[in-house]
Amino acid sequence: MKMFRIISLVLFTGIVVLLLGVGAQSPQKPQIVFHSNRDDASFDDIYVMDQDGSNIRRLTNTPGFYDEIPDWSPDGQKIVFCSTRDENLELYVMNADGSDKRNLTKNSVEDYMPSWSPDGKKIAFRSARDGNYEVYVVDADGKN
């Protein structure tokens, strides 16, 4: 079962702003992957924790850039996420332990909100590469 959005309302200069945080439960492990700025108040990194909130582990550490919106692969072995580490929001994938981070997309516009296909072979994401925000699909290895 996945938790896709943790929603909170924040009053900011008189305007209510909807903030979306993302957490996803591993299909194979009793863990949740999420992004947070808990260790650096300015930038987000990817973390995992046990379902009871214990055993929090930081998987990314990219000072000056954002790593966010993670999602577990269906087999629990990989995590896809968005990052600005190349100064543009792109999709990356890494092993569940944070190793072997690889860029999946390279585009002049933002690619974000990744979600694995049920068979783990493809990743859907949102992009405005044709001028309108639409859903695109890429192979899990970054091809096609």
CATH 2.120.10.30 describes domain 27-139: yes
Q: 75-130: per-residue pLDDT in tens?
A: 999 999 999 988 889 999 999 999 999 999 988 899 999 999 999 999 999 999 88
Calculate the average pLDDT of the chain.
81
> Mean of the pLDDT values across residues 46-63?
91
Distance of CA 85 to the CA centre of its chain: 13
Instruction: Name the strands in the sheet holding 102-103, side by side, starting at the edge strand that comes first in the sequence.
Output: 67-72, 78-83, 90-95, 102-103
Burial per residue of 103-127, b for 16 or more beta-carbon CB atoms within 10 angstroms, e otherwise = ebbeeeebbbbbbbeeebeebebbb
| E-strand stretches of 84-129 | 90-95, 102-103, 111-116, 122-127
Q: Tell if the pTM clears 0.75, that is, is over it.
A: yes
Decide which of 8 and 143 is more confident.
Answer: 143
Task: Decide if pLDDT at 28 tops 80.
Answer: no
Q: How much is the pLDDT for 39?
A: 81
- Choice among 11-15, 48-52, 60-64 with the minimum mean pLDDT: 11-15
Q: How much is the pLDDT for 29?
A: 61
Task: Decide if pLDDT at 63 tops 90.
Answer: no
Query: Phi-psi bin for 76: left (phi > 0), alpha (psi -120 to 50), beta?
Result: left
